[in-house]
């Protein structure tokens, strides 16, 4: 089962007075749906899941499920460096109605590839919604190797992998395991079209927080056979993508959304305000591309 095809937004979690801001979140979700986003991913890396309490995490995902109300798939992030905790969160998010789960490789304790196989298999054996594995070695210190993907892809509850390692050769190797029940998603916005060119189903996108329609259109062009138009959008919006990663994600995206009047510019420590230089770069690209609200 492929959960979605196209551009899924890794939605930020807006805060106000150090609590999730559900009013702002509703506006963000409706904006995404009006502008064509193909899936909502709640409480991933961009959603600052690592600093949410379990109760907040579940409440944020439930809010997304309820507000989307079946219009597009909602995928909840439930990864942890503790397999039992990841399973508990996966079950909790399944209970609030997610269509799928996004589960990052365990971080900090840096398990072996055998440990990754055991981790994902244990969770997949005990949940009743499909899951997407998530490899982002730059953050976790763990690389989900193609041989490990090969081992896990046949599991009936494992429906894909988000690849954010930035190694196109590894992505090509993983593409060998794509089929009707297993999808490959770009985890880096600047690799969206290259990943679709090797058989990927689209992108789980940070920059879609800022330019949802353009990221949706990029994937639609590609799947409709208008490859040149897709490539032109990929190239055109590279400066926007770069600006949204001028500091660690999601600091720039939340700053941009604040400048656009959509959320408070509030983070949870250890994330903090961007530098003045980064703010200048973000404002500059929003102005140059006429990105408002």
* CB count in 10 Å sphere of residue 131: 28
**92 part of a folded domain:** yes
Identify which of 221, 188, 217 has the alpha carbon closest to the alpha carbon of residue 205: 188
Structural domain contains residue 91: yes
Q: What is the DSSP letter of 207?
A: G
Condensed to tens digits (0 to 9), the pLDDT of residues 65-82 reads 999 999 999 999 999 999
Rg (CA), the chain: 18
Q: Quick check: 75 and 102 in contact, CB under 8 A?
A: yes
Give the global pTM.
0.95
Say which of 62, 120, 162, 267 is annotated catalytic.
162
Q: Is 16 a catalytic residue?
A: no
Residue range(s) defining the domain that contains residue 195: 6-228
Give the pLDDT confidence of 29-46 residue by residue, as tens digits: 999 999 999 999 999 999
pLDDT at 1: 78
Terminal Cα-to-Cα distance of the chain (whole angstroms): 34
State the total domains in the chain.
Answer: 1
Question: Does residue 281 form part of some domain?
Answer: no
Asked, for residue 291, whether it belongs to a domain, the answer is no
Pairing relationship of beta strands 19-20 and 15-16 according to DSSP bridges: antiparallel
Q: Does residue 3 contact residue 132 with C-beta atoms inside 8 Å?
A: yes
Q: Is residue 270 assigned to a domain?
A: no
**Phi, psi at 98, each rounded to 5°:** -65, 155
144 found inside a domain: yes
Cβ burial 51-88 (10 Å sphere, 16+ → b, else e): ebeeebbbbbbbbbbebbeeebbbbbbbbbbebeebbe
Asked whether residue 19 carries a pLDDT value surpassing 90, the answer given is yes
Residue 57 confidence (pLDDT): 98
In this structure, what CATH number is given to the domain that contains residue 25? Answer: 3.20.20.70
Q: Tell whether 172 is covered by a domain.
A: yes
Each residue's pLDDT tens digit, 228-269: 999 999 999 999 999 999 999 999 999 999 999 999 999 999
Distance CA 144, CA 25 (A): 32
User: Is 213 marked active-site?
Assistant: no
User: Which residue of the set 5, 67, 108, 134 is catalytic?
Assistant: 134
The answer to whether residue 288 is domain-embedded is: no
């Amino acid at each position: 089962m492929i959960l979605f095809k196209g551009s899924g937004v890794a939605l930020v979690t807006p805060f106000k007075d150090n609590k999730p801001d559900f009013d702002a979140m509703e506006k963000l979700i409706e904006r995404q749906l009006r502008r064509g986003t193909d899936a909502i991913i709640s409480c991933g890396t961009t959603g600052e899941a690592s600093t949410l309490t379990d109760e907040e995490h579940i409440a944020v995902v439930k809010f997304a499920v309820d507000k989307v109300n079946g219009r597009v798939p909602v995928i909840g992030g439930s990864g942890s460096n503790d397999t039992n905790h990841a399973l508990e969160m996966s079950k909790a998010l399944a209970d609030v109605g997610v269509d799928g789960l996004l589960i990052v490789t365990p971080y900090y304790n840096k398990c072996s590839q055998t440990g990754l196989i055991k981790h994902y298999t244990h969770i997949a054996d005990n949940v009743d919604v499909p899951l997407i594995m998530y490899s982002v070695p730059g953050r976790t210190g763990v690389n989900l190797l193609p041989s490990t993907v090969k081992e896990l892809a046949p599991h009936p509850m494992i429906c894909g992998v988000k690849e954010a390692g930035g190694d196109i050769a590894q992505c090509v190797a993983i593409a060998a395991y794509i089929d009707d029940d297993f999808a490959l998603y770009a985890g880096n916005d600047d690799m969206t079209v290259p990943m679709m060119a090797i058989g990927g189903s689209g992108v789980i996108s940070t920059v879609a927080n800022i330019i949802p329609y353009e990221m949706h259109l990029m994937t639609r062009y590609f799947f409709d056979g208008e490859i040149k138009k897709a490539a032109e959008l990929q190239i055109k919006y590279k400066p926007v993508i770069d600006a949204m990663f001028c500091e660690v994600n999601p600091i720039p995206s939340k700053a941009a959304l604040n400048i656009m009047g959509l959320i408070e510019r509030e983070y949870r420590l250890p994330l903090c305000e961007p530098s003045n230089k980064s703010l200048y770069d973000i404002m500059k690209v929003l102005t140059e591309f006429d990105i408002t609200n």
